[in-house]
Amino acid sequence: MEFVRRVRAWMQRSPFQVDLVLAVLAWLIFPVFAGSSGTLGFLLTTAQVLPLAWRRTQPFLAALVIAAACLLQLIVMGTPMLSNVAVLAIVYAVAAYAEERWQSRAVLIAALVGGLLGGLDWVLADGLYAPAGSVLFQIVPIVLFMWMSVGVAWVLGDAVRRRRAVLARLREQNEALARDQAQRSALVAQGERAAIAREMHDIVAHSLSVVVVQADGGAYAARVALARGTGADPQVLERAAQTLETLAATAREALTDTRRLVGVLRDSDAAEFAPAHGVADVEDLVQRIRDSGVPVTLAVRGEVDHLPRDLDLAAYRVVQESLTNVLKHAGPRASVVVDVLRTPAVLLIRVTDDGQGLVVPGTGLDDDGFVARGTTGPSGNGIIGMRERVEVLGGTLHAGERPAGGFEVVASVPVERLPGSQTPGQQESTAPIPDAEVPTGSRRSHE
């Protein structure tokens, strides 16, 4: 079986070699069966049989050579030859393998005309003086037989051509489907990578920001305690202890979130995809920021207990990233207002602060002695990630400086129609979240 497969594969890869072998075998066999036809018969047999070696690679040119040899036979000989069966073979080959459809039709017409001329020549050469009725009776069956043979050969070849065309179209469709599937897989993988990157950014950036702030506070409290020796203020020591506890809690939460995300990557169980946080967890998030020394005011209004899963997580991440940016960029003495409003139509999230920016040595200061946000280092992906989360859900996000000073992040996300989300005749509330009063100050940009 292995030998047969190899031979079949070689025959498919080398059509000219296969046809050449068959043509040479026919060229060697035909003179034996046809008997002695002289030099002229041998030459005509050669001209009609050997061109079959190009029946698949150059079928139309091979047909022209065979047609010329047959025409020469009609002129110089009055009898048929065994090699005339090459006409049927080339008619089939042109119908099956010719590049242009008109070539197969032209060869078909030439073969039908040749059959008529051959029948007339062969019958008239033997019955030149026979009655006209007898000649006609002999010619009609011969011509019909040759026409039927030519027609069958052409129909079979055309059927093969149609089948090859169908197979070619199917291969093209399969290749197109494979390319489309590969593109879809690449897009899905790209989307998954973007989602993972957003999750990792939100988890790591927020937790590390809290850790940095708490570490600075703990280090300061420790230095004060060390400077005072055994007479250290108990409040300072308590502050240091609270700072260390906050550091440990933040690190544990970051570790839990990271483990959950890694678990999603390792296991495709749908339960793993449940969001770790939601609007209900914003209070704990805000409290952690308060423990870092940043005053935060939180207001959650409306029914937020049954939000869609993706929206619930996106709202939490928007608040988390906004507070992270406050820790990183707002500077000292900054306060924050977090306002979450659920209406029947949308979920509105607004995080505003009155920070003036960080003071960094070597940077230009404004009139108030602070630098603009965004001048303290390269921009990150925080706002980009928030905007991607919101836009995926069909919402919008604005992040920028406030005219009165400070910075704000405002997200508006449509809420899926839930049972009881709106009573008949109730109008959808589109009132904006009230702006919080903040002191004036320099304008700055966010990460």
pLDDT in tens, 18-59: 888 888 888 888 776 665 567 788 888 889 899 999 988 899
Instruction: With a cut of 60, say whether residue 321 has pLDDT above it.
Output: yes
Instruction: Look at 335 and 202; give whichever has higher pLDDT.
Output: 335
H helix or E strand, kind and range, residue 314: helix 309-325
Q: Are 331 and 357 in contact (CB under 8 A)?
A: yes
Q: Are 75 and 51 in contact (CB under 8 A)?
A: no
Fill in the amino acid letter for 103: Q
Instruction: With a cut of 60, say whether residue 299 has pLDDT above it.
Output: yes
Instruction: With a cut of 50, say whether residue 91 has pLDDT above it.
Output: yes
Instruction: Look at 282 and 424; give whichever has higher pLDDT.
Output: 282
Reference 418, options 338, 312, 339, 317; nearest CA is 312
pTM value > 0.75 = no
Q: Which two tokens stand for residue 431?
A: 């009132």
DSSP assignment of 376-445, as one string?
SS---SHHHHHHHHHHHTT-EEEEEE-TTSSEEEEEEEEPP--TTSS-TTPPPP-PPPPPPP--------
Instruction: With a cut of 70, say whether residue 232 has pLDDT above it.
Output: no
Per-residue pLDDT band for 179 (boundaries 50, 70, 90) equals confident
- Tell me, what's the pLDDT at 365? 40
Instruction: With a cut of 90, say whether residue 337 has pLDDT above it.
Output: yes
- Tell me, what's the pLDDT at 373? 47
Q: What is the C-alpha separation between 149 and 143, in angstroms, rounded? A: 10
Domains in the chain: boundaries: 2-129, 295-447
Q: Are 203 and 261 in contact (CB under 8 A)?
A: yes
* pLDDT tens string 258-281: 666 665 555 544 444 444 678 888
Cα–chain center distance at 362: 47
**What is the percentage of the chain residues whose pLDDT exceeds 70?**
65
Largest CA distance in the chain: 147
Q: What is the C-alpha separation between 225 and 398, in angstroms, rounded? A: 44
Strand order in the sheet with 346-353: 296-301, 336-342, 346-353, 407-414, 396-401
Q: Which two tokens stand for residue 405?
A: 């000073």
Low-confidence winner among 60-64, 106-110, 200-204 (lowest mean pLDDT) = 200-204
* pLDDT tens string 115-160: 888 888 877 765 544 555 566 777 888 889 999 999 999 999 999 9
- Tell me, what's the pLDDT at 441? 37
CA distances 89 to 23, 108, 149, 231, 332, Å, are 11, 12, 10, 113, 94
Fold of 295-447: Heat Shock Protein 90 (3.30.565)
Q: What is the C-alpha separation between 436 and 434, in angstroms, rounded? A: 6
Mean per-residue pLDDT over the chain, rounded: 75
